[in-house]
Amino acid sequence: MADNNELTPEQTEALLAVRREIDRLDGEILERLAARARCALRVGEIKKGPLYRPEREAQVLRNIAEKNPGPLSTEGVQRIFREIMSWCLGLEQPLKVAYLGPQGTYSESAASKHFGGAPELQPQQTIDDVFHAVEAGATAYGVVPVENSTEGAVGRTLDLFMSRKVSVCGEVSLRIRQNFMTHAADLSQVKRIYSHAQSLSQCNDWLAHHAHGIPRLPVSSNAEAARLAAEDKESAAIAGERAAHHFGLPILFANIEDDPNNTTRFLVIARHDSGPSGKDKTSVAFSALNKPGAVHSLLQPFADEGVSMTKFESRPSRTGLWEYVFYVDIEGHREDPAVARALKALGEHAAFLKVLGSYPVAAI
């Protein structure tokens, strides 16, 4: 690599000057990183408790995004500060985070995105195991899929909140890309399409336009779909790029999801929720008597207090005491006066209410 030799002496001098400037800046950054780390240790001395504060990290990341003058991308500066906070936090002892394994899954990507590179990430075999690790204190935090995921039974995550003493203290969004992969040379040779039901529905428009009439077969996961398609030249799978590589399946059409902003959402769980960050969500679960209009009237306090719902989902109750459990995400922190009043009113009328936690809206 002799590329410097192709430069004129003036260019070489200019290059050296820029590199000296970079070295000077790096020295200044290093000094400030050290000062920042000493501050983190001081916080630990004052608080004598866990250093990790989800609301504080979210505030720092939002602040960085707002003040970023460029030319680095917002993602770039946020990832760099994510790493800085990660190592400052790990000064006293490394944070332990359980996630739905195996390694290489979206859940692992979500854990890294949220916690940076310093923590010890511990893959678990099931969502139940992640909850157990956190509840038993084996890890301080856990990361589990909760919406729109192709990695496992997401309803299970909601059910577990009913029986386990853990709270939601954060959320993570990951962008998900879907691809159409097959050994067939073109679409006309494809006789069936395998995928997780979630992925099939995420590509509904594309399938209706391009693969009308080809049977769609839902299977347990996208990885399983790719495995099946890899064995048979008349089959195709819809799955992520990693599955294509893993099973050696050529991608015939990339990024076929209907919504280009298609994301999978994960929750960060702990034995406590998060303090207010200024831009928060609160997740609650409640049950209602099976009576027409019962749910609607239970939600009335949110409307009265001007609290927006961002998600509403019902699940059959597993205890038999009620017919359904409702999972609702609302904007705001449970300590915000309007939210607190609405939750109090809901609690007085619902057969059962559990506040799963308040946490910062995903900052990166």
* Closest CB 249 distance from its own copies, rounded Å: 10
Q: What distance in Å separates the CA atoms of residue 101 and residue 109, rounded to the nearest whole number?
A: 10
Is 266 catalytic? The answer is yes
Question: Judged by CB, which is closer to its own copies: 30, or 289?
Answer: 30
By CB under 8 A, residue 79 contacts its own copies: yes
Which parts of 307-336 interact with its own copies (CB under 8 A)? none
By CB under 8 A, residue 278 contacts its own copies: no
Residue 262 · residue 178 · CB < 8 Å: yes
Question: Judged by CB, which is closer to its own copies: 40, or 351?
Answer: 40
For residue 44, the one-letter residue type is G
Pairing between strand 179-182 and 235-239?
antiparallel
Q: What distance in Å separates the CA atoms of residue 279 and residue 333, rounded to the nearest whole number?
A: 8
| Residues 239-268, mask of contacts with its own copies (x by CB under 8 A) | ---x--xx-x--------------------
- The burial of 353, by beta-carbon neighbours within 10 Å (0-12 exposed, 13-18 middle, 19 or more buried), is given as middle
**At 343, which helix (H) or strand (E)?**
helix 337-349
Residue 61 · residue 82 · CB < 8 Å: yes
Q: Which member of 266, 286, 302, 326 is catalytic? A: 266
Is 139 catalytic? The answer is no
By CB under 8 A, residue 77 contacts its own copies: yes
Q: Which member of 264, 282, 286, 302 is catalytic? A: 264
Binding part of the chain for its own copies, among 76-84, 289-297, 298-306, 337-345 by CB under 8 A, reads 76-84
Which parts of 120-179 interact with its own copies (CB under 8 A)? 122-125, 169
| Residue 219 backbone phi and psi in degrees, to 5 | -130, 180
| Residues 12-51, mask of contacts with its own copies (x by CB under 8 A) | --xx--xx-xxx-xxxxxxxxxxxxxxxxxxx--xx-xx-
Residue 257 · residue 36 · CB < 8 Å: no
Residue 127 · residue 158 · CB < 8 Å: no
Q: Which of 58, 60, 130, 203 binds its own copies (CB under 8 A)?
A: 60
By CB under 8 A, residue 80 contacts its own copies: yes
Binding part of the chain for its own copies, among 7-15, 205-213, 308-316, 320-328 by CB under 8 A, reads 7-15
Structure tokens at 28: 């200044």
Please, which residues have CB within 8 angstroms of residue 251's CB and are 6 or more apart in sequence? 179, 180, 181, 241, 244
Binding part of the chain for its own copies, among 96-104, 134-142, 147-155, 212-220 by CB under 8 A, reads 96-104
Residues carrying an active site annotation: 264, 266
